[in-house]
């Protein structure tokens, strides 16, 4: 039997299948978000079941999370991203005390108590300048891929100062920096530092270690180092960082089913 977690995020839909006996993620998939979240989720769900030898009879329960969770009709229930990411990361990194999650359109900070429950949290879903969308805009403006940003930032000798709090004005600021001769390397490093600074503002006081970084932006080289420089703590990247929300949802599905 399996539990299923569906993370219907702003930029992508992620699905995780977790074995009820071993509590291990046995399959996962991701598809770009679109107009019809339900149809996209159902297509990926069917693909994962068929590709791994399962049928709907093997599914014990389905939990949906993410900003579009209410649109996932195949789910038995919905649970917030905060709770799901906490469960997912804690399953992968049992001792975690602080979680930083940066996705395509929002960023989150979670502080867990010693027992692993969410003690407090903060979320930025109003300003894209602190999210993965900012990095997409920068990569597009510089004519490079997202996968190239880490290498560029590592070559920086003088990170640019990005002061604008709005992505529209920040993009204008970047255009101005390019016109004044700033290198792409220094601009990328400056943008990563800017995102890290916004996250540190959410955290407020010092982050309690161990600190784990998750979300799609965690896969971009250089971001973890930028966070370390700003918050003053070692930051580790979660295994399967894009899947922690879906994994947590699947784990909660099994809990609700009595496993």
Please check whether residues 100 and 89 belong to one and the same domain. Answer: no
pLDDT at 103 over 90: no
% of the chain surpassing 70 pLDDT:
96
Please check whether residues 185 and 251 belong to one and the same domain. Answer: no
At residue 96 the predicted structure's pLDDT band, cuts being 50, 70 and 90, is very high
Q: How far apart are CA 29 and CA 138, in angstroms?
A: 27
Domain count, the chain: 2
Per DSSP, the residues of 240-259 read SGGGHHHHHHHHHHHHHTT-
Helices 184-203 and 132-142 sit at what angle, rounded to 10 degrees?
A: 170
At residue 128 the predicted structure's pLDDT band, cuts being 50, 70 and 90, is low
Please check whether residues 132 and 206 belong to one and the same domain. Answer: yes
Please check whether residues 7 and 109 belong to one and the same domain. Answer: no
Classified as helix, coil or strand, 91 is helix
Structure tokens at 22: 């071993």
Please check whether residues 40 and 165 belong to one and the same domain. Answer: no
Please check whether residues 126 and 192 belong to one and the same domain. Answer: yes
Give the model's pLDDT for residue 235: 97
Lowest-confidence pick of 36-40, 172-176, 233-237: 172-176
Please check whether residues 78 and 130 belong to one and the same domain. Answer: no
Nearest CA-CA partner of 96 in 86, 106, 109: 86
The span from the first CA to the last CA of the chain, in angstroms, equals: 10
Nearest CA-CA partner of 187 in 163, 153, 211: 153
Structure tokens at 200: 């540190």
- Supply the CATH number for residue 232's domain: 3.30.420.40
The whole domain housing 251 covers 1-93+243-259
CA distances from 20 to 7, 38, 62, 91, 173 (A): 19, 25, 13, 14, 51
| Angle made by CA atoms 9, 202, 168, in degrees to the nearest 5 | 65
Please check whether residues 204 and 122 belong to one and the same domain. Answer: yes
Please check whether residues 24 and 106 belong to one and the same domain. Answer: no
Please check whether residues 176 and 250 belong to one and the same domain. Answer: no
Give the model's pLDDT for residue 5: 98
Please check whether residues 47 and 140 belong to one and the same domain. Answer: no
CA distances from 209 to 114, 219, 230, 232 (A): 11, 20, 14, 10
Could you identify the residue written with the tokens 């979680």?
A: 99
Please check whether residues 126 and 17 belong to one and the same domain. Answer: no
**pTM score, whole prediction:** 0.91
């Amino acid at each position: 039997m399996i539990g299923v977690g569906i993370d219907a995020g702003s930029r992508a839909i992620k699905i995780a299948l977790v074995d009820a006996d071993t509590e291990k993620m046995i399959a996962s998939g991701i598809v770009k978000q679109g107009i019809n979240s339900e149809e996209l989720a159902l297509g990926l769900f069917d693909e994962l079941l068929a590709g791994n030898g399962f049928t709907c009879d093997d599914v014990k329960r389905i939990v949906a999370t993410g900003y579009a969770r209410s649109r996932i009709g195949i789910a038995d229930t919905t649970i917030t991203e905060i709770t799901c990411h906490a469960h997912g990361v804690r399953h992968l990194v049992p001792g975690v005390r602080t979680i930083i999650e940066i996705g395509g359109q929002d960023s989150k900070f979670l502080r867990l108590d010693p027992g692993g429950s969410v003690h407090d949290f903060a979320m930025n879903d109003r300003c894209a300048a602190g999210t993965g969308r900012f990095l997409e805009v920068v990569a597009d403006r510089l004519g490079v891929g997202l996968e190239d940003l880490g290498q560029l930032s590592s070559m920086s000798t003088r990170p640019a100062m990005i002061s604008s709090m709005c992505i529209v004005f920040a993009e204008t600021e970047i255009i101005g920096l390019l016109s004044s001769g700033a290198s792409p390397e220094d601009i990328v490093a400056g943008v990563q530092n800017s995102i890290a600074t916004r996250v540190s503002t959410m955290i407020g006081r010092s982050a309690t270690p161990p600190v784990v970084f998750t979300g799609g932006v965690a896969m971009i080289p250089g971001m973890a180092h930028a966070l370390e420089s700003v918050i003053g703590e070692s930051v580790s990247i979660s295994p399967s960082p894009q899947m922690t929300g879906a994994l947590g949802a699947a784990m909660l599905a099994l809990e609700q089913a009595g496993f």
